[in-house]
């Protein structure tokens, strides 16, 4: 099922202009920063996973 919106990884804005097919982003356009690379967009769920992964990658110097 297509998500309601995608998140632009360039500027982290919600993006409603996109084409979704077979569980993948076919085309997307961020009207905020002009990003139109489908690989630079994520669904809300993917974005949360990325954000969590990024946090885990922060080195923990104690």
Segment lying near Zn ion (by CB under 5 A), choices 11-19, 21-29, 42-50, 51-59: 11-19
Query: What size, in residues, is the chain?
Result: 62
Q: Which is nearer to Zn ion, 32 or 52 (CB)?
A: 32
| Region from 4-12, 18-26, 44-52, 54-62 binding Zn ion, contact rule CB under 5 A | 4-12
What secondary structure letter does DSSP report for 4? S
Candidate residues 17, 33, 51, 52; the one interacting with Zn ion per rule CB under 5 A: 33
Euclidean distance between the first and the last CA atom of the chain, given in angstroms as a whole number: 44
Contacts of 52 (CB under 8 A, 6+ apart): none
């Amino acid at each position: 099922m297509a998500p309601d919106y995608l998140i632009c990884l360039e500027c982290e804005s919600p993006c409603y202009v996109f084409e979704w097919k077979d569980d993948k982003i076919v085309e997307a356009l961020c009207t905020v920063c002009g990003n139109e690379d489908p690989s630079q967009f994520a669904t809300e769920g993917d974005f949360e996973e990325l954000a969590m992964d990024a946090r885990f990658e922060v080195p923990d110097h104690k």
